[in-house]
């Protein structure tokens, strides 16, 4: 009677025939995979973020006709997100997100060493992409806050005359803080405590906590901008709607960062951390993708307005 189950994975069968797999270990367990779900999640986030940033770039060249620093940073962040997606896909296809016994008994030592290096690279690329995305958002908020039109709006609200200067200083401090935090995260990535799976190297509780704090600080700035501009006051139309969209997406992004922290804490005590690494990869990509979507929404606004104006003109001169 075959109590070990069955798997169609030829790599597992080869390892079993070579005597590398303990006889008491289930082949069905070794053959379990969540790769498809994780790949779909990573690809979906990357595609949506690419479309939104692409619309932002189109708005810059077709409507605004001015490339700002935040636009450049957003494009660089998207490029790194695409690289992180490729690295994640490679890690998944090599088996890094299978059960820990798969890594122990099936994966060759050379592949294990290769995936450990890829995990380091993927984590550093994710950190750099997230940092650039957040800096792009801060640069955009800084430009708005420093503009003369926004200053006149904020100063017209009683008791808020000094608010603009304070918010500008806060943006500079937050930018320095997230750069420093990212540097500390990068140094901790090379901690020697990753063990067999390297999961602790890739996404420790400390790194996830720092990311959550940095993301919360970045998306607190739009709230300050809306407060200075006046709820229901002179900040209306496209700009106010853009800030509302940033706030909503920022709240969703903060929720993703909370999920990342929860997964990191789960990884720290899990007996099967490599299995948890797949969802962690997807959440890391989603954190960058949602940040890019959130900070790109105001840049998409002019393109949307131009398209709507074109539709209205078409209806006006077309057949009723």
Tell me phi and psi for residue 240, to 5 degrees.
-65, -40
What is the C-alpha to C-alpha distance for residues 148 and 296, in angstroms, rounded to an integer? Answer: 22
Q: Is residue 25 part of a domain?
A: no
Contacts of residue 248, Cβ cutoff 8 Å, sequence gap at least 6: none
pLDDT digits (tens, 9 = 90+) for 200-228: 444 478 888 889 999 999 988 887 777 76
3-state DSSP: the chain helix, strand, coil percent, rounded to 5? 80, 0, 20
User: What pLDDT does 300 receive?
Assistant: 78
User: What pLDDT does 249 receive?
Assistant: 83
pLDDT, average across residues 52-72 = 86
Q: Which residue do the tokens 């998306």 mark?
A: 219
What is the C-alpha to C-alpha distance for residues 220 and 192, in angstroms, rounded to an integer? Answer: 35
Q: What is the pTM of this model?
A: 0.85
What is the C-alpha to C-alpha distance for residues 202 and 39, in angstroms, rounded to an integer? Answer: 18
User: What pLDDT does 40 receive?
Assistant: 95
Q: Is residue 67 part of a domain?
A: yes
Nearest CA-CA partner of 90 in 152, 158, 39: 39
| C-alpha of 178 from chain center | 15
Q: Is 189 helix (H, G, I), strand (E, B) or coil?
A: coil
Q: Is 68 helix (H, G, I), strand (E, B) or coil?
A: coil
Q: Is residue 134 part of a domain?
A: yes
- The pLDDT > 70 percentage for the chain reads 78
- At 277, which CATH number? 1.20.1070
Q: Is residue 241 part of a domain?
A: yes
221 with 178: CB under 8 angstroms?
no
Tally the domains of the chain.
Answer: 1
298 with 239: CB under 8 angstroms?
yes
What is the pLDDT of the chain when averaged over all its residues? 80
Q: Is residue 79 part of a domain?
A: yes
Q: Is residue 256 part of a domain?
A: yes
What is the C-alpha to C-alpha distance for residues 272 and 310, in angstroms, rounded to an integer? Answer: 56
Nearest CA-CA partner of 4 in 76, 12, 283: 12
What is the C-alpha to C-alpha distance for residues 243 and 42, in angstroms, rounded to an integer? Answer: 27
Q: Is residue 309 part of a domain?
A: no
Contacts of residue 60, Cβ cutoff 8 Å, sequence gap at least 6: 66, 67, 68, 71, 299
**Does pLDDT of 166 surpass 60?**
yes
Nearest CA-CA partner of 85 in 114, 48, 60, 57: 48
Tell me phi and psi for residue 5, to 5 degrees.
80, -165
Structure tokens belonging to residue 259: 């999920």
Q: Is residue 58 part of a domain?
A: yes
pLDDT, average across residues 155-180 = 75
Containing domain of residue 242, as a range?
34-294
Residue 232 pLDDT grade (very low, low, confident, very high; cuts 50, 70, 90): very low
């Amino acid at each position: 009677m075959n109590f070990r189950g069955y798997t169609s994975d030829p790599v597992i069968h080869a390892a079993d025939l070579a005597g590398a797999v303990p006889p008491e270990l289930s082949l069905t367990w070794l053959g379990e995979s969540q790769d498809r779900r994780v790949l779909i999640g990573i690809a979906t986030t990357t595609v949506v973020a690419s479309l939104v940033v692409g619309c932002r770039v189109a708005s810059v060249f077709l409507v605004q006709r001015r490339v700002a620093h935040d636009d450049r940073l957003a494009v660089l962040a998207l490029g790194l997100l695409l690289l992180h997606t490729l690295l994640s896909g490679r890690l998944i296809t090599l088996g890094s997100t299978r059960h820990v016994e798969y890594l122990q008994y099936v994966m060759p030592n050379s592949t294990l060493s290769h995936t450990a290096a890829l995990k380091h690279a993927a984590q550093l690329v994710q950190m750099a992409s997230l940092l650039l995305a957040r800096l792009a958002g801060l640069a955009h908020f800084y430009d708005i806050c420093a503009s003369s039109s926004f200053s006149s709006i904020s100063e017209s609200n009683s008791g808020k005359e000094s608010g603009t200067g304070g918010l500008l200083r806060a943006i500079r401090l937050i930018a320095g803080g997230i750069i420093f935090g990212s540097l500390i995260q990068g140094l901790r990535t090379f901690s020697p405590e990753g063990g067999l799976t390297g999961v602790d190297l890739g996404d420790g509780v400390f790194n996830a906590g720092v990311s959550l704090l940095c993301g919360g600080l970045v998306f607190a700035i739009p709230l300050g901008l809306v407060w200075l501009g006046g709820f229901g006051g002179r900040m209306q139309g496209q700009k106010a709607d853009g800030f509302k969209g940033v706030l909503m997406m920022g709240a969703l992004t903060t929720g993703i960062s909370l999920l990342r922290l929860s997964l990191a804490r789960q990884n720290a005590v899990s007996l099967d951390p490599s299995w948890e690494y797949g969802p962690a990869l997807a959440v890391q990509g989603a954190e960058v993708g949602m940040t890019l979507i959130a900070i790109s929404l105001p840049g998409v606004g002019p393109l949307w307005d131009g398209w709507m104006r074109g539709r209205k003109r078409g209806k006006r001169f077309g057949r009723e």
